[in-house]
């Protein structure tokens, strides 16, 4: 039921992403208009804890004055400039230098975009270009994982392994292949140990590579932990084992740090937490703490060099966006990274993590929470009908939505991914606020329990 003018106009005019468009017409949209720290407010003045940091992006919380000032100053000084045809500007130069310093690469280059999706399309194009430049035109197939999320543009949407992002869009494109999801709780066979599980996944990956042509894959992309696919945390030895298979067939591993990057798992990078060796890195979201759209691909020099040479033969490196390295976005991102250092934010995450994870674990005692999982300041609850058999509620997705709605009514925004409840608050959250957030979540789960 729509109760106010803005809601009516929303239904009339707004085409919402990632929304059931029929259900939306009968929903009162949650219209937010203010944020302070970890809290956001709707147009009726109700306060919520932003338990998903927007869309996993708002690390610094809302209303950061220094970012506001930085954006205003940059807009005033030089509000737009492109990086095409050897033009440049200070914010892009300084941010690229900073990102190379933070990256695992001694030397490398940063290619800017506007979203995680377009950055992953850039990855796809870079590796295509690279293989053509290296005279390996057969290496055109691409590996990703079921339930992985890498965006929704045509190439990144093909990398994504979620059916709803494919159905009716005629995705994935041919040449994209999805290997197993490294989620032990759901994917293990009976009596399988975690080690056995990883060995099976590695073997399946190798068989897929052999079947499709051992010299035909240009790259594999993976998130350190799968975020939007349900906060799925891989077993400890997953990446080292998987990567030894990739190494055998000369397949680089693209590290999608869009959710994990900048402290979320307790290290600056997710690859550190999960022992990945990234051949190339995608970043977005917390790069600007979500304050302004910006993304980037970071490549080491050995990937850049052959691309550079080939661009000379073509006459131009024919890829780039109008807003690649937008000066306001770069200035805000650079200031964001400075603030992370000033606040010692990644250490703060390490400090807060034990309390956060203790509260996550406690929720595992509810009869309908099959798995309570998390690392750093990200977590999820897998809601099941039967804890022993792991049977889902029917229809799948209904109770997840119900729980998210109860939480929202009680002042906490969480994300329901099917029947998985995801939690990923701003990284500035304090210990007291962690308790406040989990008190609401626990009370909401108790309320749900009474209703089933």
CB of 269 to ligand PLP, least distance (A): 13
Distance between CA 248 and CA 309 in Å, rounded? 27
Instruction: Name the residue nearer to ligand PLP (CB basis): 120 or 267.
Output: 120
In angstroms, give the least distance from the CB of 293 to ligand PLP: 7
- Cβ closest to ligand PLP, residue 53 vs residue 201: 53
- Residue closer to ligand PLP by CB (options 92, 284) is 284
In terms of CB distance, is 67 or 286 closer to ligand PLP?
286
**Min. distance of Cβ 88 from ligand PLP in angstroms?**
24
Nearest distance, CB of residue 42 and ligand PLP, angstroms: 23
Shortest reach from residue 201's CB to ligand PLP, in Å: 19
C-alpha 202/C-alpha 145 separation (Å) is 12
Determine if residue 34 is left, alpha or beta; phi over 0 gives left, psi from -120 to 50 gives alpha, anything else beta.
beta
d(Cα 23, Cα 265) in Å, to the nearest integer?
35
* Dist. CA 173–CA 234, nearest whole Å: 26
The CA distances from residue 134 to 40, 100, 120, 130, 335, in Å, are: 50, 24, 21, 6, 38
Q: Calculate ∠ Cα 157-162-167, nearest 5°.
A: 75
d(CA 299, CA 254) in angstroms, rounded, equals 10
Q: Which is nearer to ligand PLP, 117 or 402 (CB)?
A: 117
- Closest separation in Å from C-beta 153 to ligand PLP: 7
Closer of 142 and 149 to ligand PLP (Cβ): 149
* C-alpha distance from residue 283 to each of 112, 342, 353, 354 (Å): 9, 21, 23, 26
Closest separation between CB of residue 145 and ligand PLP, Å? Answer: 11
Q: Min. distance of Cβ 34 from ligand PLP in angstroms?
A: 23
Interface residues with ligand PLP (CB under 6 A) are 55, 115-117, 120, 149-151, 223, 227-228, 256, 258-259, 284
Cβ-closest residue to ligand PLP? 116
Q: For residues 295 and 433, which CB has a smaller minimum distance to ligand PLP in the complex?
A: 295
Looking at the Cβ atoms of 292 and 406, the one nearer to ligand PLP is 292
φ/ψ of 62, rounded to 5, equals -95, 155
Which is closer to ligand PLP, CB of 369 or CB of 421? 421
Give the separation between CA 354 and CA 336, rounded to whole angstroms. 25
The conformation of residue 232, written as its DSSP 8-state character, comes to B
Neighbours of 218 (CB within 10 A): 24
* Smallest distance, ligand PLP to C-beta of residue 256, A: 5
Dig out the tokens for 182 from the structure. Answer: 């490294």
In the sheet that holds 295-300, the strands lie side by side as: 108-113, 295-300, 280-283, 253-256, 217-222, 141-145, 176-179
């Amino acid at each position: 039921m729509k109760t106010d003018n803005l809601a009516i106009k929303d239904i009339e005019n707004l085409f919402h992403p990632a929304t059931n468009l029929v259900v939306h017409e009968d929903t009162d949209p949650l219209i937010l208009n203010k944020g302070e720290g970890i809290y956001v407010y709707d147009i009726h003045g109700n306060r919520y804890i932003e338990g998903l940091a927007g869309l996993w992006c708002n690390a610094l919380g809302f209303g950061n004055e220094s970012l506001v000032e930085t954006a205003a100053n940059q807009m005033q000084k030089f509000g737009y400039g492109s990086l095409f045809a050897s033009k440049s500007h200070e914010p892009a130069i300084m941010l690229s230098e900073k990102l190379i310093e933070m990256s695992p690469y001694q030397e490398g280059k940063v290619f800017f975009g506007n979203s995680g999706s377009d950055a992953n399309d850039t990855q796809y194009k870079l590796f295509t270009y690279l293989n053509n430049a290296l005279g390996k035109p057969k290496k055109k197939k691409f590996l990703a994982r079921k339930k992985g999320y890498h965006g929704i543009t045509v190439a990144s949407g093909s990398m994504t392994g979620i059916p709803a992002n494919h159905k009716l869009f005629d995705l994935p494109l041919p040449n994209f292949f999805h290997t197993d999801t490294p989620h032990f709780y759901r994917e293990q066979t009976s009596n399988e140990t975690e080690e056995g599980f990883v060995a099976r996944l590695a073997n399946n990956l190798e068989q897929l590579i052999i079947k499709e042509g051992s010299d035909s894959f240009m790259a594999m992309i993976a998130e350190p932990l799968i975020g939007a696919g349900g906060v799925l945390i891989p077993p400890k030895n997953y990446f080292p084992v998987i990567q030894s298979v990739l190494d055998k067939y000369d397949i680089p591993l693209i590290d999608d740090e869009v959710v994990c990057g900048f402290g979320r798992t307790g290290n600056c990078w997710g690859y550190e937490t999960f022992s990945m060796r990234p051949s190339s890195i995608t970043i977005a979201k917390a790069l600007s703490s979500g304050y302004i759209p910006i993304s980037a691909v970071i490549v080491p020099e050995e990937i850049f060099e052959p691309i550079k040479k080939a661009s000379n033969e073509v006459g131009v490196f024919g890829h780039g966006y109008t807003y690649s390295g937008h000066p306001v976005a770069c200035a805000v991102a650079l200031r964001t990274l400075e603030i992370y250092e000033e606040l010692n934010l990644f250490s703060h995450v390490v400090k807060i993590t034990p309390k956060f994870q203790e509260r996550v674990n406690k929720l595992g005692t509810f009869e309908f929470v099959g798995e309570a999982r998390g690392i750093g300041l990200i977590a999820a609850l897998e809601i099941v009908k039967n804890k022993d058999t792991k049977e889902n509620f029917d229809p799948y997705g209904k109770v997840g939505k119900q729980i998210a709605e109860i939480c929202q009514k009680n002042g906490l925004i969480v994300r329901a991914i099917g029947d998985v409840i995801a939690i990923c608050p701003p990284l500035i959250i304090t210990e007291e606020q962690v308790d406040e957030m989990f008190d609401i979540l626990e009370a909401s789960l108790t309320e749900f329990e009474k209703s089933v």
